[in-house]
């Protein structure tokens, strides 16, 4: 039996071989070249990002020194408002003087006051507290608390308890009720333990 290939089949086979050859040529040469172009494009954009960050760092280089100086100044200003705890006795005396001065401005006499030894807060700061007990009018108390807030050193009120001195059980027989409250409060101050290295 003789195999005869018609002209039309011959053209189809040549077209098929040509398509296979083109596919092999494209897959071995064009696709790898395209992949290399994609990789080099990604590498180029990565290098561009690195260059942009490097330029920003160079531009900011001079600003870092200014920012550090400004931060050190802010820390120094903040620490100037703290009680310096070189000696616990001196620190407790400084706190007592601040509180007594604020009380003296509004004529408050303390019935009781206790100063506790400093407690370690962290490696730079300690905390010293003082409990007070006194009788005052609401106006005296608010002015006293305002004086503490405006003191030259940072002082905060940790706890405050108010009880009326006179509990009304009926209308007063003469005049008005005494508007006096018994105050128990705890005042806390932060004190520095050592100088920070700036």
Asked if residue 198 is part of any domain, the answer here is no
Q: Say what the pLDDT of residue 196 is.
A: 47
2 in any annotated domain: no
Per-residue model confidence (pLDDT) at position 175 = 61
Residue 188 lies in a domain: yes
Shared-domain flag, residues 15 and 106? no
* 3 state DSSP class of 184: strand
Instruction: Supply the pTM of this predicted model.
Output: 0.57
CATH number of the domain within which 102 lies:
3.30.70.60
CB 95 within 8 Å of CB 77: no
Question: Of 103, 124, 104, 116, whose CA–CA distance to 158 is shortest?
Answer: 116
Do 89 and 157 belong together in one domain?
Answer: yes
Residues 41, 17: one domain?
Answer: yes
DSSP 22: H
- DSSP three-state, residue 14: helix
pLDDT tens for the chain, 198 residues long, are: 566 777 777 788 788 888 888 888 777 877 777 777 777 777 778 888 888 888 887 777 767 777 788 888 887 787 777 787 677 788 888 888 889 999 999 999 999 999 888 888 777 778 889 999 999 988 889 999 999 888 888 888 889 998 887 776 666 667 666 688 899 999 998 887 655 444
| In a domain? residue 3 | no
The number of distinct structural domains making up the chain is 2
86: how many CB neighbours lie within 10 A of its CB?
Answer: 10
Question: Which residue reads 């003082």 in tokens?
Answer: 130
pLDDT at 178: 67
Q: What is the pLDDT of residue 184?
A: 93
* Boundaries of domain holding 92: 83-169+176-192
Task: Give the pLDDT confidence score for residue 95 in this predicted structure.
Answer: 86
């Amino acid at each position: 039996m003789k195999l005869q290939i018609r002209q039309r089949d011959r053209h189809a086979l040549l077209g098929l071989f040509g398509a296979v050859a083109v596919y092999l040529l494209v897959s071995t040469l064009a696709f790898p070249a395209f992949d290399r172009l994609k990789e080099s494009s990604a590498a180029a954009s990565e290098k561009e990002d690195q260059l942009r960050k490097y330029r920003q760092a160079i531009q900011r280089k001079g600003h870092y020194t200014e920012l550090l100086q400004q931060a050190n100044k802010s820390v120094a200003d903040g620490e100037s408002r703290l009680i310096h705890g070189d000696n616990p006795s001196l620190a407790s005396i400084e706190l007592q003087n601040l509180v007594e001065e604020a009380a003296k401005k509004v004529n408050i006499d303390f019935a009781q006051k206790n100063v506790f030894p400093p407690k370690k807060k962290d490696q730079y700061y300690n905390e010293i507290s003082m409990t007070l007990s006194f009788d005052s009018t609401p106006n005296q108390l608010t002015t006293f608390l305002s004086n503490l807030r405006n003191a030259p050193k940072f002082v905060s009120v940790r706890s405050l308890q108010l009880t009326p001195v006179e509990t009304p059980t009926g209308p007063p027989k003469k005049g008005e009720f005494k508007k006096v409250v018994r105050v128990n409060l705890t005042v806390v101050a932060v004190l520095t333990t050592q100088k920070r290295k700036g």
